[in-house]
Amino acid sequence: MTRVTDPKLPRHETFVDVTDGYRLWVQTTGDPERPALLLVMGANASGLSWPDELVELLSRDHFVVRYDHRDTGRSTHAFAERPYPIRALADDAIAILDALRIPRAHVVGMSMGGTLVQLLLLDHPDRLLSATILGSALIGGAAPDPDIKDEDLPGPDPRLLALWAELGQERDAEAELRWRVAHWRVLNGDVLPFDPEEFADLERRIAAHSGTWHSPAAHALADQSGMERGAELAKVSVPTLVIDAPEDPITPPPHAARLARAIPTATLVTVPGLGHALPRAVVPSLATTITDHTGRRS
């Protein structure tokens, strides 16, 4: 059974206990009387990776919830002792809504978070007011698309593959910070300006929040089975927004278009210049894109 560890903190920070002895750090922002909006971040990433500026803009219209996945941030780190499949992280999102007594929410998922949102669309449509997906590919097992074939889909930027080969290596704090900023530089894409100090400051805050500079890698090791369900998305009825990030070095076009075509209720919207990072330069337009979508479904 899930529970809020401290029920007197519904609008700030709390911890939610989920399965297998994992406890998740959860932060809420905004008026709890407004429609809830749950932010689901990508693999091995703390919830603080959602920019504070974006959270603040979204909280003008929503009760915003962001959280640390298992093995990130202040949540329990225990993958070596208690491994889990990636699909368990989707169950964690529902456990957080249950613990906060939120019957239905808008959900926004980035990268792996977008994969989890696809699972939520399939398994928990009754809990979703709407869904927004960015920086994510269509989950496996999808019906063939006559216009966008698998061979048309580019893979990740080779610069990222080189950096990912170093994921989880032991580095001192200074070296780890340099690696993370280099990673963000590639994720940002080559159109929007990149401010290394903006992302260095973000990583310093994440390290302080987490209490460590150790680079998490549990999600790269987690079981990927049970994800071959793309064909089921044809039955989705929840209003869904797919955001096309034209400069995304992980899931570049036409990944977003393929995902949108697989969901009958999906709308595809391009945010110019967007890559696989959320720099300040793109936050206002991204917030507007999300709230335009959620505002029609609240």
DSSP string, the chain: --EES-TT-TTSEEEEE-GGG-EEEEEEES-TTSPEEEEE--TT--GGGS-HHHHHHHTTTSEEEEEPPTTSTTS---TTTS--BTTHHHHHHHHHHHHTT-S-EEEEEETHHHHHHHHHHHH-GGGEEEEEEES-PPPSSPPP-SSS-GGG-----HHHHHHHTTTT----HHHHHHHHHHHHHHHT-SSS---HHHHHHHHHHHHHHHT------HHHHSB-TT---GGGGGG--S-EEEEE-TT-SSS-TTHHHHHHHHSTTEEEEE-TT--SS--GGGHHHHHHHHHHHHHTT-
pTM reported for the whole predicted model:
0.94
User: 161-172 burial, b for 16+ CB within 10 Å, e for fewer?
Assistant: eebeeeeeeebe
Q: Is 298 a catalytic residue?
A: no
Mean pLDDT to the nearest integer, 208-222: 93
**What is the model's pLDDT at position 139?**
96
Average pLDDT over all residues of the chain = 94
Mean pLDDT to the nearest integer, 246-256: 97
Residue 46 pLDDT > 60: yes
Q: Which is the catalytic residue, given 62, 77, 106, 276?
A: 276
Confidence band of 4 (pLDDT split at 50, 70, 90): very low
Of residues 55, 1, 52, 5, the one with CA closest to residue 25: 5
58 within 8 A of 38, measured Cβ to Cβ: no
Report residue 199 as tokens.
Answer: 């992302």
Per residue in 280-295, pLDDT (tens digit) is: 999 999 999 999 999 9
Residue 168 pLDDT > 80: no
Per residue in 189-204, pLDDT (tens digit) is: 999 999 999 999 999 9
Q: Is 77 a catalytic residue?
A: no
Q: Is 223 a catalytic residue?
A: no
Percent of the chain with pLDDT over 70: 96
Separation CA 24–CA 82 (nearest Å): 15
Per residue in 107-136, pLDDT (tens digit) is: 999 999 999 999 999 999 999 999 999 999
194 within 8 A of 185, measured Cβ to Cβ: yes
Separation CA 94–CA 142 (nearest Å): 24
**What is the model's pLDDT at position 5?**
38
What residues are paired with 66 via a beta bridge?
27, 39
Q: Which is the catalytic residue, given 111, 130, 136, 210?
A: 111
Mean pLDDT to the nearest integer, 165-170: 86
**What is the model's pLDDT at position 257?**
97
Residue 3 pLDDT > 60: no
Residue 146 pLDDT > 90: no
Domain count, the chain: 1
**What is the model's pLDDT at position 215?**
84
Confidence band of 298 (pLDDT split at 50, 70, 90): low
CATH number (domain holding residue 74): 3.40.50.1820
Domain that holds residue 163: 3-295
Separation CA 9–CA 5 (nearest Å): 9
Q: Which is the catalytic residue, given 91, 248, 255, 293?
A: 248
**What is the model's pLDDT at position 11?**
53
Residue 10 pLDDT > 70: no
